[in-house]
Chain A
Amino acid sequence: MSKIILSSAIRGAHKIVDRVEGKINAALEKFGADQDVKLPNTAYYLPVIYGMTGYKVEKIGDMPKVIEMCRDLLPEVPSEEAWLPYLGPGLDAGMAACFAYDVEEALKYLEDPCPYLPMKEDPEDTDPDIWLGAADDVILRKRGVEFVDGSAPGFAAVVGAAKDVETAVAIAKELQEKSIYVFMAGPNPNGVTFAEQLKEGGVQLGWNTRLVPFGKDVSAAIHALGFATRAALTFGGIKPGDFKGNLLYNKYRVFAFVLALDEVDDEKYAAAAGAINWGFPTIADTDIPEILPTGVCTYEHVVSNIPQEEIVSKAIEVRGLKITITKIDIPVSYGPAFEGERIKKDAMHVELGGPKSMGFEFAYSKPLDEVEDGKFTVVGPDLDDVEVGGLLPIGIWIELAGRKFQEDFEPILERQCHHLLNGAEGVLHIGQRDIVWMRISKKAYEAGFRLKHFGTILHAKMHNEFGAIVDKVQVTIYTDEEKVKELLAVARNTWHERDNRLADMTDETTETYYSCTLCQSFAPTHVCVVTPERPGLCGAYNWLDCRASYEINPHGPNQPIEKGETIDERLGKWKGVDEFVGPASGNAFESFAAYSIMEDPMTSCGCFEAIAACLFAANAIMVVDRDYTGDTPCGMPFSTLAGTVGGGLQTPGFVGISKFYIGSKKFISAEGGLKRLAWMPKALKEQLKDLIDKRGEEIGIPNMYDLIATEENGTTEEEVMAFMSEVGHPALEMDPLM
């Protein structure tokens, strides 16, 4: 397929270079070799040529050398029989076309009258024409800063014309709303240009509206690449001539793409091939052959046959561009200040879900083309359809898609609903999964708040906070009772699967663990190593959370650790973990054992949900949690223990743990695991009954729950030992702890 495109591109490039060579010769004749040529107010000469090769074109006499460079780059037009060309020669041809265009456009500044409005930011009604030509360095700097700080996510180079003025205006508006610059150049086969269509549609053109008409000819599209090339020179510290550095800077930092509207001829193919060098893909509305495999561009290179109505969202997807939404478009205030807000019964317009009805929220992912970003639908009665103080069932159904999205991120995003929706003034949200309970205040209703605004909030916040993994968010709000019931059953199935997924993962079959150094702010030497079977000691970060946190914020406190070679399977020591722990703890520790309380136990920060401690005389261990304030058999209450264990120390005989870890196969498994557990506070024991029973079954002691003493049986080691012999505790028969 791509052979057709690349052959066309090569043919087109030959045509362009031949034509420009003719123009140079004519200019030499008319003005002489010493005639200065330059783009207005720039230190970058002809920027594409200068950026790629370091060659400075200052006079017409410098131009023939450029044609020589083009000829060196240009491959032969391939014959019909050959399988070639592949991408490489096509890209070279594209680059040659770009060099030639750079020259062709520079020569326009010698024409009288000049077809451009040099040094102007916006065309005015009094100007003879709308075309601005190349941006000068002042504009470049001012606008380029926006590309660096992200307030402009990228640019669209539009070539050709939309099918009519209305569509042109709609496309431009959609790009503007996403803060994307629109660079326009070149007509469709009937001589119509996108920029002129916008003007006809009454749209204000210019840098200030981000709709920049570069030029009437396709060659003027080079000003877009010139802008990109100069951005890399100015902001990326790239040296002229470092073509690789320049092109990579653009690939990774300037999120640009080409929109080819209407028919694409050989010349436009050549220009598109040129743009691919910068990592800028082409999205076309006509049925041209595609180049899909990833290689030079981040994702696909040429995607075609996209209806003009969908072309912007497709382009964003293909370029991998991240959208940020600066303002959440809802009629009430939004911010963390409203998170703790309560809505009393008499202030409430409606109650959603809760104990008297059904309420759930559910997020899951789908393929990119099955999710429509920013689509919000309400199925069932809206807030206008209930009497004040009324009650509705609610199902918040969130469909997500993203290039980097993984199924495992679904629950993490789903859990965000609580704090995201609570941020709206006059919206109360309690619970998660199928125990969602919400209220909306009368004031919010009167201000115009409706159910679709849940969608607005979730869409904006998920893009902004989780843009690294989320590209598309679609939200449907169900208040129709039958529908809620039906979908709740679907959601419950998925939750069940999710719960089992992590439960089925084992440390043995997982190669990458994650660190957590969030607490180093107060415990400088502390490093948590989180494995699938050992959650972080705070209970807030399991392995999946850490992985998602890393994807979302690659420079954050959760870093991947390749566990590498196993040093000791019983203790849970791996070469990769030890190599990580050294530097990460400021060289305070050399080795960690994930499963031992006695030998190199993991450090504890201070956030542990519970502490496990050895009872040496009893040959057992005890666990005490934060909520229990009384004495414990080890002689210290929780607070004293916390002082001993916390602060980033390795304290053999003690270790900070999460409650959930007690049910894990790897719970202090080096010392025998749950079988060693002889004492815990009654409330904690009751809370964890299911976990203990399940694990008890697995280790062949189904009555394990009854063998663990609580404060009711005693709070001294002697009392615990007496209890142990009475019930026949398995730890009595085990190897000594020391």
Chain B
Amino acid sequence: MAFSAVSEKYSGKMREMEIGTGDKKVVVGGQATMPFCTFDGDYPHRPVIAMEVYDVVDPEWPAAVVDPFKDVINDPVAWAKKNVEEYGAQMICLQLASTDPNGENRSADEAAALAKEMASALSVPLLVWGSGNVEKDADVLSKVCEVCEGMNLLVGPAVEENYKKIAAAALGYGHNVVSQSPIDVNMAKQMNILISNLGLPMEKIIMEPSTGALGYGVEYTYSVMERISLAALSQNDEKMQCPMINDLGKECWKAREVKLTDEEEPSFGPDMEKRGVLWEAMTAFDMLLAGSNLLIMRNPKAVKLTEQLISELM
């Protein structure tokens, strides 16, 4: 008797999200199976990596993430172009760290102007990320939506305290929204419901379950994402069928293990770059295996390793 593989059947599938317009358009999501189980069902789109660009760089960054961008680190648009042209980025994530009121506190207008300049200059779609300050993000990201009308960007994170302003602006000016929840499967679902109740279609929502780096809670994120996938696919829960994104670059590169020199911790060895790259790539692998559709990453070598893995798995 011939061998016949047992195949898992799923009743649901993830939604597809389009980011960008025209030639710049990228589609994420749409899978009808658990991560990379292409033998069980449809897996129409490769996970995408959005490479980070900061409008202001923290002086504490390790050399491994400064050196690759040394010539452009004070010019976000040039940095973004370098990521695309030299490092092959499929998407760019503009991190508006400068808008944080506890930092430089740059205005929403200034941030929005930069976002527009970058989006227009790039040949790939743009993701715009706030500073994480709930109130300021509402102002900054809604302004970005207004100024970049019709460019179909992805903006976020929208959280329970500020989602109304961000999602309403995204709805009014034609963009997608990252819905972020605090490592909680119910909250993730509730956020999707709340945002879609404002009128933003579910096709315009991507979930960020709160990402922990390797050694810093990656297993919690993994488990929440796995449960979201199972609810979406096995139980056909429509409110959970939004694709997923992980903001992991910044989490990895602030890890203690990445920042320590070998003088401070001889057992870690002298190759700090390799350590950091592997830390970011390993976190990315985990997120991919948990069902991520879109990864925000920083180091070009880590991106390359991750792209290789995706190619092998697809």
Contacts and interface: CB of A to CB of B under 8 A. Distances in A.
Contacts of B227: 524
Interface string A124-161: 00000000000000000110111011110000000000
Contacts of A234: 172
Given A520-B186, A521-B185, A555-B193, A149 B198 contact: yes
A141 B235 contact: no
B185 A524 contact: yes
Interface stretch (B112-120, B161-169, B247-255, B274-282): B161-169
Interface in B228-286: 230-231, 234-235
B307 interface: no
A148 B171 contact: yes
Nearest to B192: A555
A235 B185 contact: no
A237 B171 CA distance: 10
Contacts of A517: 186
Contacts of B54: none
Nearest to A556: B190
B88 interface: no
Contacts of A236: 199
B40 interface: no
A586 interface: yes
A518 interface: yes
A222 B183 CA distance: 48
Contacts of A557: 186
Interface in B66-110: none
A151 B165 contact: yes
Contacts of B187: 521
B201 interface: yes
B184 A521 contact: yes
Interface in B123-149: 142, 146, 149
A142 B146 CA distance: 8
Interface in B210-229: 227
A586 B184 contact: no
Contacts of B168: 145-146, 148-149, 235
B43 interface: no
Contacts of B172: 141, 144-145, 148, 234-235
Q: Which of A144, A150, A517, A555 has the most CB of B within 10 A?
A: A555
A587 B233 CA distance: 13
B231 A586 contact: yes
A507 B227 CA distance: 34
A253 B164 CA distance: 14
Q: Is the interface of A mostly helix, strand, loop or mixed?
A: helix
A149 B194 contact: no
A583 interface: yes
A638 B227 CA distance: 29
A142 B167 CA distance: 13
Query: How extensive is the interface on chain B, given as a class?
Result: 20 to 34
A306 B58 CA distance: 61
Interface string B152-165: 00000000000011
B36 interface: no
A230 to B, nearest CB: 12
A237 B199 CA distance: 8
B256 to A, nearest CB: 26
Contacts of B149: 141
B199 A235 contact: yes
Contact of B186 (A148, A151, A518): A518
Contacts of B234: 587
B165 A149 contact: yes
Nearest to A144: B172
Interface string B169-203: 10111000000000111110010011001110100
A164 B11 CA distance: 66
B199 A145 contact: no
Given A148-B168, A583-B235, A587-B235, A237 B201 contact: yes
Contacts of A555: 190, 193-194, 197
A83 B301 CA distance: 82
B155 to A, nearest CB: 14
A208 to B, nearest CB: 16
Contacts of B169: 145, 149
Interface string A507-522: 0000000000110110
B167 A149 contact: yes
Nearest to A520: B186
A239 B184 CA distance: 36
A556 B197 CA distance: 14
Contacts of A150: 164
A148 B142 CA distance: 12
A584 to B, nearest CB: 10
A253 B172 CA distance: 15
Contacts of A586: 230-231, 235
A281 B231 CA distance: 43
A150 B169 CA distance: 12
A54 B165 CA distance: 30
B235 A235 contact: no
A520 B184 CA distance: 8
Contact of A145 (B142, B186, B190, B201): B142
Contacts of A253: 199
Contacts of A583: 235
Contacts of A145: 142, 146, 168-169, 171-173
A228 to B, nearest CB: 14
Contacts of A520: 185-186
Contacts of B190: 555-556
B201 to A, nearest CB: 7
Nearest to A140: B172
A144 B199 CA distance: 12
Contacts of B231: 586
Contacts of A142: 146
A521 B173 CA distance: 34
A146 B168 CA distance: 8
Contacts of A144: 172
Contacts of B167: 148-149
Contacts of B184: 521
A150 B167 CA distance: 11
21 contacts: A142-B146, A145-B171, A145-B173, A148-B171, A148-B199, A149-B142, A149-B168, A150-B164, A151-B165, A235-B171, A235-B199, A253-B199, A521-B184, A521-B186, A521-B187, A555-B190, A555-B193, A555-B194, A555-B197, A586-B230, A586-B231
Interface of A: 141-142, 144-146, 148-151, 234-237, 253, 517-518, 520-521, 524, 555-557, 583, 586-587
Given A145-B168, A151-B164, 8 more contacts: A141-B146, A145-B142, A146-B168, A149-B165, A149-B169, A235-B199, A521-B185, A521-B186
Smallest CB-CB A-B distances: 10 pairs: A149-B168, A148-B168, A149-B164, A521-B184, A145-B172, A149-B165, A555-B193, A145-B168, A141-B172, A235-B199
